[in-house]
A and B are shown apart, each in its own frame.
Chain A
Amino acid sequence: MVQRVDHSFKAMGGPARFRMEVDDVGLADVAVTAAVAEVERLERKYSRYLDDSLTSRINLAAGTGQVVTIDAETAGLLHYATTVWRESGGLFDLTSGVLRRAWDFRSGRLPEQSEIDAILPLVGWDKVEWDERGVCLPIEGMELDFGGCVKEYAADSAAAQLQRSGVQCALVDLAGDMAAAGAPLQGAGWPIGIRHPRARDSAAATVILPRGGLASSGDYERCMEIDGVRYGHILNPTTGWPVGGLVAVSVLAEQCLVAGSAASVAMLKPAPQGLEWLGGLGLPWLAIDRDLQCHGNLLEAGSD
Chain B
Amino acid sequence: MATNKNDRNPALMALTSSALLLPAYQGAQADAPPEFAEAGMQYSKYKEDDITAKKAFGFTDSTRQRFDIDVAQFHLLAPVLDDWSVAVDVAWEDMSGASPWFVGESASGDPKVIMSGASIEDNRTEVSVTTRYYFDRGNSGLSLTYSDEDDYESKAAAFDGAFNSADGMTTYSGAISYSDDHIDPTQGAVPTNTTSASKDIYSAWAGVTRIVSKRAIVRFGLSYTYRDGFLTDPYKFRDSRPNERKEWVASGGYRRYFEEQNSALHVDYRYFNDDWDVQSHTLDVAWVWDYSPAVTYTPFIRYYTQHEAEFFNNLAQQDQRYFSDDYRLSAFGAFSYGLRASRKIQNWEVSVDAERYRTDESWGVFSGEESPGLVDFWRYGIGLNYIFK
Contacts and interface: CB of A to CB of B under 8 A. Distances in A.
A contacting B, Cβ–Cβ less than 8 Å: yes
Interface of A: 2, 21-24, 26-27, 72-73, 76-77, 79-80, 82-84, 86-87, 153, 156-157, 160, 164, 166-169, 182-183, 185, 188, 210, 212, 252-255, 257-258, 261-262, 277, 280-284, 297, 301-304
Interface stretch (B21-29, B156-164, B170-178, B179-187): B21-29
B3 A283 contact: yes
Contacts of B25: 156, 160, 255
Nearest to B7: A282
Main secondary structure of the interface of B (DSSP, over half): loop
A156 to B, nearest CB: 5
A156 B292 contact: no
Contacts of A87: 11, 14-15
Interface string B255-270: 0000110100000000
Given A23-B294, A303-B259, A284 B19 contact: no
24 contacts: A2-B294, A23-B293, A76-B21, A79-B21, A80-B18, A80-B22, A153-B24, A166-B344, A166-B346, A168-B290, A185-B292, A253-B1, A257-B22, A258-B12, A258-B19, A262-B12, A280-B11, A282-B7, A283-B2, A297-B2, A301-B2, A302-B2, A303-B2, A304-B2
Contacts, number: 117
A282 B9 contact: yes
Max chain A Cβ within 10 angstroms of own Cβ: one of B11, B24, B25: B24
A76 B18 CA distance: 8
B271 to A, nearest CB: 35
Contacts of A252: 1-2
Contact of B293 (A26, A169, A258): A169
Contacts of B166: none
Interface residues of B, number: 35
B321 interface: no
A73 B290 CA distance: 34
B293 A21 contact: yes
Contacts of A160: 24-25, 27
A77 B11 contact: no
Given A24-B345, A277-B11, A283-B2, 11 more contacts: A2-B292, A24-B294, A80-B21, A166-B389, A168-B293, A252-B1, A253-B16, A261-B15, A282-B3, A282-B9, A304-B2
Nearest to A183: B259
B259 A22 contact: no
